[in-house]
Amino acid sequence: MAKKKVVSRQKKASSTGKTAMDKPKCGLCGKSGRLTLTECCGQVICDDEDEYVMFSFARNSCHRNHSRYTLCAFHFNEGHTGDWRECDDCKGEFETELYVSYGTNEYNFVKLANPPKFKPTRCAKCKKTIRLGEDGYSISGGKYFCERCTGLDIAKLLSK
Ligand SMILES: [Zn+2]
Ligand SMILES: [Zn+2]
Ligand SMILES: [Zn+2]
Ligand SMILES: [Zn+2]
């Protein structure tokens, strides 16, 4: 299936700026601490999943970020075939905006070359643009609400 030719690496490695002397480094943050390889794409990445605090939603774990917020990992976990960047199944799974975000965010080693265009999502209440990949938001009745408006609603509920 893979028709791509393996490019010989015997030529100067300088095109990537790497030399054989380099210590392995996380491909996302560049740290060279405890490292592992991603299951989905075999890239060197921080082995830091256990530093994640449950339910903190912190995004300080390279490994977790890649396995949670990228199409690469999703595609792998869902057992899709081929390259995730050409995968129609992945495209069908997400809102276009999320698809683009998951395919181009900083947790990717390789990004979508030609991300599809999408209309920005706006808060149904205050009309602020919500970046689905980054901002907090809630969905209610098929409508999106920004973090602020969601918070206001919760405050209202709590004060009752
Ligand atoms: Zn890292
Ligand atoms: Zn991957
Ligand atoms: Zn896929
Ligand atoms: Zn709002």
88 and 109 assigned to the same domain: yes
Region of 123 (left: φ > 0; alpha: ψ -120 to 50; beta: rest) is beta
- Residues 29, 91, single domain; the answer is yes
pLDDT at 3: 53
Considering the domain architecture, whether residues 34 and 62 belong to the same structural domain is answered as yes
Domain presence at residue 16: no
Average pLDDT over residues 68-94: 96
Distance from Cα 87 to the centre of ligand 3, integer Å: 5
13 — pLDDT class (breaks 50, 70, 90):
very low
Q: Which ligand gives the minimal distance to the CA of 148? A: 4
| Domain-embedded: residue 10 | no
Residue 56 contacts residue 21 (beta carbons within 8 Å): no
Same domain assignment for residues 92 and 160: no
From residue 2, alpha-carbon distances to 5, 6, 8, 22, 84 in Å are 8, 10, 16, 29, 13
Domain annotation covers residue 15 = no
* C-alpha 19 to ligand 2 mean position (Å): 23
Same domain, 104 and 144: no
> How many angstroms does the Cα of residue 144 sit away from the middle of ligand 4?
8
Same domain, 130 and 88: no
Judge whether 4 lies within some domain: no
pLDDT band (50, 70, 90) for residue 12 = very low
Residues 113 and 124 in one domain: no
- The total number of structural domains in the chain stands at 2
What pLDDT, in 10s, does the model give residues 47-72?
987 765 655 656 678 999 999 999 99
In a shared domain, residues 96 and 27:
yes
Same structural domain for residues 50 and 86? yes
Residues 107 and 35 in one domain: yes
Domain that holds residue 143: 120-160
Residue 32 lies in a domain: yes
Q: Which residues surround ligand 3, an ion (CB under 5 A)?
A: 75, 80, 87, 89-90
Distance 89 CA to ligand 3 centre (A): 5
- Asked if the structure places residue 13 within a domain, the reply is no
Domain-located, residue 18: no
